[in-house]
Chains A and B, each alone.
Chain A
Amino acid sequence: EAGVTQSPTHLIKTRGQQATLRCSPISGHTSVYWYQQALGLGLQFLLWYDEGEERNRGNFPPRFSGRQFPNYSSELNVNALELEDSALYLCASSFNRGKAFFGQGTRLTVV
């Protein structure tokens, strides 16, 4: 069974540009969570999608947004990129608030 897959693996953007990160959950999982892990820091909660709806968002500015598609895959968009947005962005999926499994992450570098 395939795990959580994220794409791209690496992404380099210029300050002010937009970045789009994608996540495919484990088959059967309806919830997708997004986390930001900046260098040397822990996992900061960004967004939670369940059954196509945004259920909760962390303490991040509105330029961080996303959506969940009918097939439960998800997209994270970061607008007006800033240098401090450089981080590993992790997606996790779960079913019915059960065990959450993480993907390998997308390393976003803003230059």
Chain B
Amino acid sequence: RKEVEQDPGPFNVPEGATVAFNCTYSNSASQSFFWYRQDCRKEPKLLMSVYSSGNEDGRFTAQLNRASQYISLLIRDSKLSDSATYLCVVSQTGANNLFFGTGTRLTVIP
């Protein structure tokens, strides 16, 4: 079983739509959770960390459910510039390794 599994996508949504991505992780000892964004043929960049209580950054909201080993990312009022692949990333605190999901591709359509 993969360490991190994500919605396969692709998601094609109109501008202004709200879209949600889901992710599950297999290691219950995981402590650190992130969403990274990767544009086509570019490097991944941190979008936001995911805290136990859930957190919001502008139009982006991340939530963590430890009991279900589930992470989500909600994007409100989608912009064309949100088009990218969103990577769910998990690690154990202090560990050397981040485990990446395969990513969910989002395309925001005018």
Chain A complexes with chain B: no
Q: Which residues of B contact A (CB under 8 A)?
A: none
